[in-house]
Amino acid sequence: MRQTVPTIILKRQTIFFIGFLLSLSLYATWIDKIERDLYGVKPGVTIEGIDLSRYLPKEVEVILEELAIRYKQIPVNPMLDKETGVIIPEKAGYQVNVKKTQEKIFAAQPNQRVELVKDVLRSTYTVADLAPITRQIGYFHTWFYGSGGRWRNIELACKGCNNTIVWPGKVFSFNEVVGPRTPERGFAVAPIIGGRDFGGGVCQVSTTVYNAALKAGLPIVERHPHSKPVPYIAAGKDATVAYNYADMKFKNDRAYPVIVKAGIDRGKIYAYILGK
């Protein structure tokens, strides 16, 4: 079959266009190779097991930013051992210095293994900030009553509150430090207003801590009264709690940390707050 002149011209144009695109592709590949030879990382240079041979600055920056996220460690303020009250020293953290690490990479010789440059992150507070927190600024106690299950719940709630540091400007949350009152965490069924439930009795601990915070003059952020009077505290002085529903919170408005202590001693549930 004979081809018409327009068909032949169209085919020639198509072949020319394809050839032109291939030329552009080869040219771009050639330019990319020259650019990587001139400005890329030297062959065989690695960091954290990643081969960066001939990588360009922007490509290296993307990789380093991903490594910075992976390896960042947040500093930790000092803490208190929940059982003994012994101070556990603070821990410094660090973050990857992307700019300085990138400079090291491009200054590296062929086949060199480069280490990440890390900047130390200091904790906000240190052991020195806790050392002077020894003066009792607030104290309160209530007397225990009830079943063995209630005793168990009160004991667990006291342990959760005990040796809790409240840093300046931070808020103490009873629900946060005590946690969910579930059987998996050791809480027992005990009487509550209107029936029985896991964690019955913990409200006596929240009430005791609440009154210690009042004695210390710390501002109360959240507090809820019981629906009925309770036998262990005068009317208007109680603080009921229910996980994910009602909390007891106070704020540390001092320029120094305060420490909450709580426990049971010969039938007495006590709470006191230490400051300067």
Integer Cα distance of 187 and 202 in angstroms = 10
Q: Name the residue ranges covered by the structural domains of the chain.
A: 40-127, 132-275
Q: Which amino acid is at 181?
A: R
CB distance 247 to 179 below 8 Å = no
38 has a pLDDT exceeding 60: yes
Distances (CA, A) of 217 to 46, 176, 213, 239, 258: 59, 21, 6, 16, 12
% of residues, the chain, pLDDT over 70: 88
Q: Is 176 helix (H, G, I), strand (E, B) or coil?
A: helix
pLDDT of residue 114: 97
Q: How confident is the model at residue 18 (pLDDT cuts 50, 70, 90)?
A: low
20 has a pLDDT exceeding 50: no
CB distance 109 to 42 below 8 Å = yes
Distances (CA, A) of 149 to 165, 207, 241: 28, 19, 18
Calculate the CA 134 to chain-centre distance.
28
pTM: 0.81
32 has a pLDDT exceeding 70: no
Q: Provide mean pLDDT across the span 183-204.
A: 88
Q: How confident is the model at residue 7 (pLDDT cuts 50, 70, 90)?
A: low
Q: Provide mean pLDDT across the span 113-142.
A: 97
